[in-house]
Amino acid sequence: MPPPEYANFEIDGRMRDPEQQEKLELREEELRQEHTKYLQQHPELRQVLNDFMSSVLLHQPEHAFDFAREYFSAFAEAEPGDVEAVTADAAERAKAAKAAESSGAAAESSG
């Protein structure tokens, strides 16, 4: 159910005004095409995101934002274009963050 302030504009997720709905759909398609083109031009982005998601799913951290900050901090220190080395470093940092998180949780439960 949409918020009440949208009731004048939407019905079941669609605009009440067909012309507005058509504009919205056209804009969504334009964005989809632009985003697809960008991803095709930058295949490394898909690889980085896939590696990050794999690491998250493997380690299943309690604090996802802390895990992400640690994972992506490797990229800030990297040489441009060194994706493979950075990805490996990021995975190690993420693993260390998960280990620190686990040891912190163990210390809390024993203390």
Q: Which residue reads 């990050």 in tokens?
A: 52
- Name which residue leads in pLDDT, 109 or 45: 45
Query: Angle, to 10 degrees, between the axis of helix 43-59 and the axis of helix 83-110?
Result: 20
CA distance 25 to 15: 10
Q: Which residue in 60, 65, 72 sits closest to 98, CA to CA?
A: 60
**pLDDT class for 108, splitting at 50, 70, 90?**
low
Please give the pLDDT value at position 90: 73
pTM (predicted TM-score):
0.56
Residue 101, CA distances (Å) to 34, 41, 56, 72, 88 in order: 39, 37, 13, 17, 20
Find the mean pLDDT for residues 99-105. Answer: 71
Please give the pLDDT value at position 31: 96
Q: Which residue reads 């040489």 in tokens?
A: 79
Please give the pLDDT value at position 9: 66
- Are the C-beta atoms of residues 100 and 108 closer than 8 Å to each other? no
pLDDT, tens digit, 9 for 90 and up, residues 22-79: 888 999 999 999 999 999 999 888 888 999 999 999 999 999 999 999 888 888 877 7
